[in-house]
Chains A and B, each alone.
Chain A
Amino acid sequence: MITNFRHAASRVAFSLLGALSIVALPSYAAQTLTVYTYDSFTSEWGPGPVIKEAFEKECDCTLNFVAIDSSAGILNRVQLEGKSSKADVVLGLDYNLMAIAEDSGLLAESGTDMSAVKLPVDWDSKIFVPFDYGHFAFVYDTEQLETPPSSLEELVNAPDDLKIIIQDPRTSTPGLGLMLWVKAVYGDDAATAWKKLQPKILTVTTGWSEAYFSLFLNGEAPMVLSYDTSPGYHMAIDKTEQYQAAAFDEGHYLQIEVAALLKNSPNQELGKAFLQFLIGKEAQSALPLTNVMYPSTDIGDALPAEFEKLIKPSKSLLLDTEQVRDERKAWIDEWLESAN
């Protein structure tokens, strides 16, 4: 009772102050918003710095990114921390992990107006805000590999000296994506396909960035699991066509990256404001060349011209997120057993 009263009193005092100072609401000057995300998002060239600056200007608050070493690791981390987690927002989960994340009971409804969202699929989640998307694809180095495989089947049956680098489905959303891609194409024969693929896997990394930057771009292997959008960055920024994505006949598995608010966050309003900001024009226009993905809304001319030159997947593959939740454990065991 007393606390309620105090709360009400401070509210009254606050709104009086607000009315007096005629400051544009909302203002969160004293607040800090803590966002857990994956490492490449916060790197110098990633979207992190751009988004931080733009959002802080708008909210008059402090935006604090915490880099977790891989994308699926974000979910594990908030689960490990449980109710005492310091995170207000998690950013960088993907569609496949949505049902699992929702089941953890840690996430709140976003209240975001998502009318502008435009994706290859319909969007009806009230919790998750999709901020960009792309298709998984094997990116190859044209100087090391002249003709890449033209289908997953061809890759699976390629000679064993064709080396690829992939990510661990337990820690990385691209790794999980490839596992589901193989599942979507091969169904019950996935284990057999992985067994054939196994000798070609040079190494399995924890996160995407060490696979792509540290190994692939250093010439350790001619092919790496990445996105159909990755060559867009090399063409636009590095001005080179050396790195290209291989188009596969079976279609490409879709990744939709999402953000969500944590239930226990004391900064609910600020968190919601951030989620809305994420699908606003300013943030969306920054994403193609910083996160190297398609924005989840129509940004018109702001989409770099180089993105027109990217491969157009013949088909977007996507498994049901509930099915992924129910079967992931078994599929990961199958992967551990046959791909390693």
Chain B
Amino acid sequence: MSLAATKASFNRWWLPGCIALVVLMLMTGLPLIALVLSANDVSPLSILENAYFRRVIAFSFYQALLSALLSVGLAIPLALALSREQFFVGRQLLINLFSLSLVIPTLVAIFGIVAVFGRKGWINNATESLGIEPFSIYGLGGILLAHVFFNMPLAARVLLQALDNIPNEQWRLSTQLRMRSWAQLRFIEWPAMRSQLLGVFMLIFTLCFTSFTIVMTLGGGPRATTIEVAIYQALRFDFDLNAAVSLALVQLIFCSALLLISAFFKHDAPLGFAYKATEHLIRPASGYRWLNALLIIIAALFVLLPLLGLVISAINPSSIDVLTHSNTVRAIINTIVIALTASFLSVAMGIGLLISSRHIRIRFGKHKLGQWIQHAGNIILVMPPVVLGTGLFLLLRNVADVFSIALLLTIIINSLMALPFVLRILDGPLMQAGTHHDRLIQSLGITGWARWRLLDWPLVRKPLGFALGVSATLAAGDLSAIALFGSERALTLPLLLFQRVGTYRLYEAATTAGILLIVCLCLFLLLQALTSGTFLRNANAKA
């Protein structure tokens, strides 16, 4: 290899990042321009004069505030109970279950929630026989219930992690001082959790503020509508482009503000996928043991019952009809195509951004700059799916029939939705691969593809499979993009499930939810297996 060639390939560190940035720009910048240009004709602030939209905006904040307060508020005693009971059968399993809500499709979980808490669900059947008025899941109550179902376990895991990080010395000291559980809470546990509270509160608030699927399915009509859903309705119900554009811009402003506030609190968006119990933790069981047990049992039931409800209701007399229905088959194929394409696109963009940002951070020592490049991948947090979808619609409506290219648009939006997760999963391993071997790499002059194959790949392989799996399940289960562009021509499992829930055909819906869950699990396991060593070895052995 000539010196010039080495130099040239060495200089190409910027290429992957540039490609990723250009693709990102095309997929988000152009729709944003389309949005802003259309806003020339309307004044976005005029929607504030409309009493209904004012209420929608107020409701978006109100439900997000309540959801975040409830989730964090309930997570505190649960995390305490879990931390105080270090040894019981199934503890690790239960904690792992708490992260399932990140992977399980929202609609599937909603279905389980309806099976348990719905009008004809288990709880209402039980209370009705006692003569208590049935509880309606549609409206604010249902929205809060679902938001707590998804976010309370997340908050509990973050807080539990904080409790686990308390140094053993402190526990030793508390034993020596014969601290009661109340004193432990005040002097040891509370200070540990407090540092995480604001961060996790902001995270949940932001997630619930842009919540779409839950509000769409459990909102129960215009009574409980968020900005995100109102944009969808302006477009699909009213064909009111002005309202859609105005609301989208308002949403853009709110999301940017929320992100800025979150950045101020500097929480490390604690999505902690793999919780591992700290070894050799010496804290003894404490507090009222019966209360701990009660809290843990209630939390376990709260998370498990909907899953159980789903599995039980998925198998019913209409299952065979649903399975063999041509719509179901088409939807399964489309869902798999979307999931695989979106996840590969997302992971490709993620790796591109990370490789270039790694170079900037390690070789140039410009840590901040590198991180900013990486932050470009979080654009979907500022521009939520429905806002992006509205922009894409405006951009393309005069060029093409958006319903004919629905799958393509869904892939674009879903890949962007998965990107923040991909970045978070791959950032650590890639940086590690970089810092560990940097001297060696430089002295040997390994660059480009060789570097990736020899040094990065072995270290990144497993997290890469995980990133692919997470983004594929996210894309497979997403409703927001396909709700905008989907039709009988572009059916996916979430859309089919939404239609079947929407028309109250609950048996068919249950089976569809079961199928969606199986598809997600298969995709997740398949993508993990593809990148796992054993699979590759087997493939090589056969070849």
Chain A interface residues (CB < 8 Å from chain B) = 39, 66-67, 69, 73, 75-77, 79-82, 84-86, 168, 170-171, 203-207, 209-210, 214-215, 218, 220, 329, 332-333, 336-337, 340
Contact = CB atoms under 8 A, between A and B. Distances in A.
Given A79-B239, A170-B237, A203 B138 contact: yes
B236 A76 contact: yes
Contact of A81 (B138, B220, B401, B502): B401
Contacts of B505: 214
B400 A336 contact: no
9 contacts: A73-B236, A82-B397, A82-B401, A84-B401, A204-B223, A207-B503, A215-B504, A332-B238, A336-B52
7 residue pairs, one from A and one from B, having the closest CB atoms? A214-B504, A204-B221, A84-B401, A336-B52, A170-B237, A340-B223, A340-B222
Nearest to B399: A84
B321 to A, nearest CB: 13
Interface residues of B, number: 32
A209 B503 contact: yes
Contact of B502 (A86, A210, A332): A210
Given A81-B403, A333-B50, A203 B238 contact: no
A209 to B, nearest CB: 7
A332 B499 CA distance: 24
Interface in B36-75: 50-52, 55
Contacts of B215: none
Given A66-B488, A81-B403, A209-B503, A76 B238 contact: yes
B401 A333 contact: no
Given A69-B499, A337-B52, A80 B221 contact: no
A76 B220 CA distance: 21
Contact of B400 (A84, A168, A329): A84
Q: Is the interface of B mostly helix, strand, loop or mixed?
A: loop
B234 to A, nearest CB: 9
Given A204-B221, A340-B223, A333 B52 contact: yes
Given A73-B236, A82-B397, A82-B398, 11 more contacts: A76-B238, A80-B235, A80-B239, A80-B393, A170-B237, A203-B138, A209-B503, A210-B502, A214-B505, A333-B52, A336-B222
Nearest to B56: A336
Contact of B404 (A84, A220, A332): A84
B52 A76 contact: no
Contacts of A205: 221
B447 interface: no
A60 B414 CA distance: 44
A85 B401 contact: yes
Contacts of A207: 503
B503 A80 contact: no
Contacts of B401: 81-82, 84-86
Contacts of B181: none
Contacts of B488: 66-67
Contacts of A203: 138, 220-221
B402 interface: yes
Contact of A337 (B51, B138, B404, B487): B51
A69 B155 CA distance: 38
Interface string B502-516: 111100000000000
A79 B499 CA distance: 22
A147 B400 CA distance: 55
A204 B222 contact: yes
Contacts of B502: 69, 206, 210
B233 interface: yes
Interface string B459-500: 000000000000000000000000000011000000000010
Interface string B96-136: 00000000000000000000000100000000000000000
Contacts of B504: 210, 214-215, 218
B404 A214 contact: no
Contacts of B237: 73, 76, 168, 170-171
Interface in B210-249: 220-223, 233, 235-240
Contact of A170 (B220, B233, B404, B487): B233
B498 to A, nearest CB: 10
Contacts of A333: 50-52
Interface in B376-431: 393, 397-398, 400-404
Nearest to A211: B504
Candidate in B50, B239, B499, B502 with the most chain A CB atoms within 10 angstroms? B239
A69 B498 CA distance: 12
Nearest to B139: A203
Nearest to A79: B239
A76 B239 contact: yes
Nearest to B506: A214
A302 to B, nearest CB: 32
A153 to B, nearest CB: 24
Given A76-B238, A333-B51, A333-B52, A168 B222 contact: yes
Nearest to B485: A80
Contacts of B233: 170
A39 to B, nearest CB: 8
A204 B233 CA distance: 14
Nearest to B243: A329
Candidate in A66, A67, A69, A75 with the most chain B CB atoms within 10 angstroms? A69
A80 B236 contact: yes
Contacts of B235: 80
A201 to B, nearest CB: 8
A218 B507 CA distance: 14
Nearest to A39: B503
Contacts of B403: 80-81
Nearest to A198: B223
Contacts of A214: 503-505
Contacts of B52: 333, 336-337
A209 B504 CA distance: 10
Nearest to A104: B239
A205 B236 CA distance: 15
B239 A210 contact: no
A170 B238 contact: yes
A179 to B, nearest CB: 12
A214 B508 CA distance: 13
A73 B487 CA distance: 12
A222 to B, nearest CB: 15
Contacts of B221: 168, 203-205, 340
Contacts of A218: 504
Contacts of B397: 80, 82
